[in-house]
Amino acid sequence: MLTLFFVPDLPTQVGAKYSFNSEDANHAIKVLRIEVGEIFRVSDGVGGWANVQVTEVTKRSLETTVLEVGRQEPLEIKFTVVQALPKSDRAKEAVELLTEAGADVIVPWLANRSISRTEVISKFATTAREASKQSRRLFIPQLHETVKERGVIELIKGADLALVFHESAQVKLSEIITPQIKAKNVVLVIGPEGGITEEELAAFAAAGAHVAGLGRPILRSAHAGLAALSAVNSLLKVF
Instruction: Tell me the per-residue pLDDT of 178-206, one tens digit each, with 9 for 90 and over.
Output: 888 889 999 999 988 888 999 999 999 99
Query: Is the pTM above the cut of 0.75?
Result: yes
Residues of each domain in the chain carrying CATH 2.40.240.20: 4-71
* Helix 88-101 × helix 125-134 angle, to 10°: 40
Quick check: 129 pLDDT over 90?
A: yes
Instruction: Tell me the per-residue pLDDT of 80-92, one tens digit each, with 9 for 90 and over.
Output: 999 988 776 788 8
Q: What is the pLDDT of residue 139?
A: 97
- pLDDT higher for 120 or 142? 142
Mean pLDDT lowest among 19-28, 118-127, 147-156? 118-127
Q: What is the pLDDT of residue 217?
A: 63
Instruction: Tell me the per-residue pLDDT of 100-112, one tens digit each, with 9 for 90 and over.
Output: 999 999 999 988 8
Q: Which of 182, 190, 194, 193 is nearest to 236 (CA)?
A: 182
Q: DSSP state, 122?
A: G
6 sits in which H/E element: strand 4-6
Q: What is the pLDDT of residue 128?
A: 93
Architecture per CATH, domain 4-71, reads as: Beta Barrel (2.40)
In this structure, the strands spanning 17-20 and 210-212 are: unpaired
Quick check: 121 pLDDT over 70?
A: no
Q: What is the pLDDT of residue 221?
A: 77
CATH number of 78-236: 3.40.1280.10
Residues of each domain in the chain carrying CATH 3.40.1280.10: 78-236
Q: In 172-224, where do the E strands start and end?
A: 185-190, 210-212
| Residue pair 73/47 in contact by the 8 Å Cβ criterion | yes
